[in-house]
Amino acid sequence: MTRLKRYLLAFALAATATACAAKTYHYAVQVEYAFSQAVLVIDDAVFNACTEHVLPAERCNTDIKDAMREVDTTVKAAALALHAAGPDAPLPKSVPDLIAALNKLRAILDSIDGAYTNPRVVRIFAALTDALAKTTNLLYIFTAVTGGA
Amino acid sequence: MDYKDAIGKALTVADALAAAEPQIAIIASAVRGGYMAIKAARQFFADQSGEHDKEKLEAIIAVFDQRVARWDNAHF
């Protein structure tokens, strides 16, 4: 192979890798956006359920508030990390925190007596399931790019 | 003339005709529907380019800042 051909091949491989990274980044942003919308639905549903005393006030003021802050903060952290990374950088590994935060919120809601008999709370569980599915997609993208969760 | 001008003129003509002849309102509605479909498709493909990725992330960061503050200030 001539030197020119080697340069051309190297250039083609580098260009392909850059294009793939940009596409993966863009896809990750799209999924992060979809995920954040799903979390906003949960945030509103839980906040309204607390305001209207569908959920017990003493739990809303303590562990539910803490869990929702954690969920919101981790979504923001993932967005900040993506924003800082840019299309050409490897994607950060903060997504497992999102799954942990959502599961913590689910466990808290699970522990409330009669949670599954209240249609408002059942809708929150459905929204949580949706958000967890979207987070798993995001985790899959991060894992595929970085080679580890 | 770009597609917006062309469709805008078509809508103006179709609306004027629809006012004179009710059956033409169906055509006006179809033109309007086509315009919305083209607009949505253009937005979709513009979105796929990734040119708004940073803005989207900044919007997410701003919204979740507000949500955290809302929980901080809430007492139920």
| pLDDT surpassing 80 at residue A124 | yes
Q: Chain A partners of B63 at a C-beta cutoff of 8 Å?
A: 36, 40
The predicted structure's pLDDT at residue A148:
44
Using CA atoms, how far apart are residues A23 and A109, in angstroms rounded to an integer?
37
**Residue owning tokens 């080697």:** A6
DSSP one-letter code for A88: T
pLDDT band at B1 (very low <50, low <70, confident <90, very high): low
| pLDDT surpassing 90 at residue A72 | yes
Distances (CA, A) of A131 to A54, A71, B50: 21, 11, 23
Give A26→chain B minimum CA distance, Å. 6
Chain A residues whose C-beta sits inside 8 Å of any chain B C-beta: 22-23, 25-26, 29, 32-33, 36, 40, 43, 47, 50-51, 53, 57, 60-61, 65, 68-69, 72-73, 75-76, 79-80, 82-83, 87
Of A26-30, A55-59, A139-143, least confident by mean pLDDT is A139-143
Count of A-B CB contacts under 8 Å: 66
Of A93 and A140, the one with more pLDDT: A140
Q: Chain A partners of B58 at a C-beta cutoff of 8 Å?
A: 83
Using CA atoms, how far apart are residues A40 and A32, in angstroms rounded to an integer?
12
pLDDT tens string A73-121: 988 988 888 888 777 666 556 667 878 888 888 889 888 887 778 888 8
The predicted structure's pLDDT at residue A65:
95
What amino acid occupies position B23?
A: Q
Interface test with A, best of B54, B58, B60 (most A CBs within 10 A): B60
Question: Average pLDDT, stretch B27-46?
Answer: 59
Cβ <8 Å between B60 and A32: yes
| pLDDT surpassing 50 at residue A8 | no
Cβ <8 Å between A61 and B61: no
> Both tokens of residue A79?
């967005």
> Both tokens of residue B3?
């597609």
Give B33→chain A minimum CA distance, Å. 27
Of A12-21, A80-89, A98-107, A129-138, least confident by mean pLDDT is A12-21
Closest CA to B74 of A104, A44, A122: A44
Complex ipTM above 0.95?
no
